[in-house]
Amino acid sequence: MVVPPTLDALSVAKLFRENKFEDVRAHLSNTLNLSADQLKNGWQSYMNLIGPISDIKAVNVNIAKVNGRVGAILVTTAYDQSGNINYLWLNPVPLDENPNRLSLGAIVGICLTVVLVLFLVVAFFRGGQLGDGQWAIMRILGALCAGFAAALFTGDALLKMSRSYGGTELTISGAAGFALFFTVWFFFPRSGTKTP
């Protein structure tokens, strides 16, 4: 016969917030060999990451979410047949889990790409006869623009290389942005005698 949990995840999170680690320890099963000090150290290390607690919400019996100013902690529990906690996980998570939100870096990258495209359009229509230096600039900017465009619609890396040097690991990866960059770079006319 399975006994209901003696302490659900929400109650564990509230006891953690009140620094009652001995009370949590009293509800752990014998197979989970954690001391009150270990619980305290784990909790406090995550509290340093999320900032002051704003609220605690139960997701379900096994999961509670402790929201802080800059992040959150998921308190996850599992129970044995006697209702005692036999697994206890503390996982930090970002506070804003909206995957559709653009980061500042993405906004800056999009703005730079728009400026680059506008420059190429102006140079194309007003350039006239370009010199060799101007032609080289147009070539590199066109290749960069193709690489940026591919980065906007590609995901996983097509090239992955990893090497270990001593204790340091060096990893290089590339997506279709590299392929489009080099395609434009190699096929862009090299002569400045033609208009773009």
**C-alpha atoms less than 13 angstroms from C-alpha of 120 in its C-beta half-sphere:** 18
Residues 6+ apart with CB under 8 A from 20: none
| Cα distance between residue 44 and residue 19, in whole Å | 10
Looking at per-residue confidence, does 182 or 54 come out higher?
54
Q: What are phi and psi of 59, to 5 degrees?
A: -85, -45
Give per-residue pLDDT as tens, 107-166: 777 787 788 888 877 877 776 777 777 788 888 888 887 777 766 655 555 555 667 777
Answer for the pair 72, 18: CB distance below 8 angstroms, yes or no. Answer: no
| Cα distance between residue 83 and residue 29, in whole Å | 9
pTM: 0.47
- Mean pLDDT, residues 176-194: 70
- CA–chain centroid gap for 97, Å, is 10
Give per-residue pLDDT as tens, 7-40: 788 888 888 889 888 888 888 877 777 888 888 8
| Cα distance between residue 196 and residue 192, in whole Å | 9
